[in-house]
Structure 1
């Protein structure tokens, strides 16, 4: 890839980088998803993979609309994030399920934040280049990624008093035949507030 000389060049470079980032994130999520014990988290990760595919198609369409060769440029930023996710979840992930689920969410969010920044930047470049339709589509994609990230944040434990954590656990009925995951209630899949 040559050095961009104008905003349009920056824009198309960003699209190519994001395409590569999406492909890398999608591949690692497919490997990570089976590691979670929580069916709703597994489902969310699957939906994220579908969302990534949709956003990748958008990137390809936007590149084609710029009379650019529809190709990706390897994203070294996402490569590092994927390497971290692989290390922390797949290679060195703990056996304790609740801790592993929290690590999966944290690694997912790190990769998603790259997408939020990248798609937001691409939208700004599109707007600055007068590409209003592209800007609108990229802002919608950024919003999708942000909402998915926020859903994952809602699953993470937050710091509150141990007394509140015990009270929440006491109110949650133990489902028959299932192991309790202290990050989630099995019946409602709402987050638990733990210290």
Structure 2
């Protein structure tokens, strides 16, 4: 990407970055889902994969509305995905309950990156007077917040307790 020269450039770059981030996150969440043993955790990870796909479709529509397409590799998400694979899968604890705790914590790190990225894109859309875009990005950000909160409940009600033993 060349250096942005205006807010529109910043916005379209952010959208392209989010497409890449979502693609990477979807791949790693599928692996986390396969490795998880707790039913509530597995169920939530499965729902997340579907949500990421919907969010990616929305981002692509917003980008097309700006006369742009494609994606730009997101190095931030690349690093988070690498860490998630390392800690939750490749070098995972040998106890299922403990691995589930690690999976959940790595998942939440991925979510927090998404909250930041989508919040930034929403702020750019607001600055550009793109109310429809802002509304859609606000909805995605809320979805990610809700997912993070649901995962916290999974941690507090079953996963952490099982790993404590």
Moved over 6 A (4+): none
For the residues of structure 1 that align with 2:77 and 2:34, how far apart are their CA atoms?
21
> How far apart are 1:35 and its partner, in Å?
1.2
TM-aligned CA deviation for residue 155 of structure 1: 2.0
TM-score by length of 1: 0.80
Over the aligned positions, Cα root-mean-square deviation in angstroms equals 1.9
The equivalent residue for 2:63 is 63
How many residue pairs match? The answer is: 165
Whole-angstrom CA distance in 1 between matches of 2:126 and 2:79: 29
Call closer, same or farther: CA 1:54–1:181 in 2, change over 3 Å: closer
Aligned partners of 1:30, 1:83: CA distance in 2, in Å?
A: 14
Listed one character per residue, the Cα deviations across residues 140-186 of structure 1 (whole Å, up to 9, x for unaligned) are 0000001001111112249xxxxxxxxxxxxxxxxxxxxx96636xx
- Structure 1 gap segments, 5+ residues each: 159-179, 185-191
Counterpart residue number, 2:75: 76
What is the aligned partner in structure 1 of residue 12 from structure 2? 12
1:182–1:119 CA distance, 2 compared to 1 (3 A): closer
* CA distance in structure 1 between the partners assigned to 2:80 and 2:64 by the alignment: 28
What CA distance in whole angstroms lies between the structure 1 residues aligned with 2:32 and 2:125?
33
**Structure showing greater relative contact order (alpha-carbon pairs closer than 8 Å, 6 or more residues apart):** 2
Whole-angstrom distance in 2 between the partners of 1:181 and 1:9: 43
Q: Distance in 1 between matches of 2:160 and 2:88?
A: 19
Task: Choose 1 or 2 for highest CA Rg.
Answer: 1
Residue aligned with 2:37, SS: coil
* Matched residue SS, 1:155: helix
2:122 is matched with: 123
Match of 2:107 in 1: 108
Cα distance in 1 for partners of 2:94, 2:6 equals: 50
> Which structure has the highest helix share of the two?
2
* Correspondent of 1:183 among 156, 161, 164: 161
State how far apart, in whole Å, the 1-side matches of 2:15 and 2:105 are: 25
- The Cα offsets for residues 64-106 of structure 1, whole Å up to 9 and x where unpaired, read as 00011x1000000000000000100111001111111110010
Residue in structure 1 matched with residue 52 of structure 2 by the alignment: 52
CA-to-aligned-CA distance 1:9-49 (integer Å, 9 cap, x gap):
10000000000000000001111112111122111001000
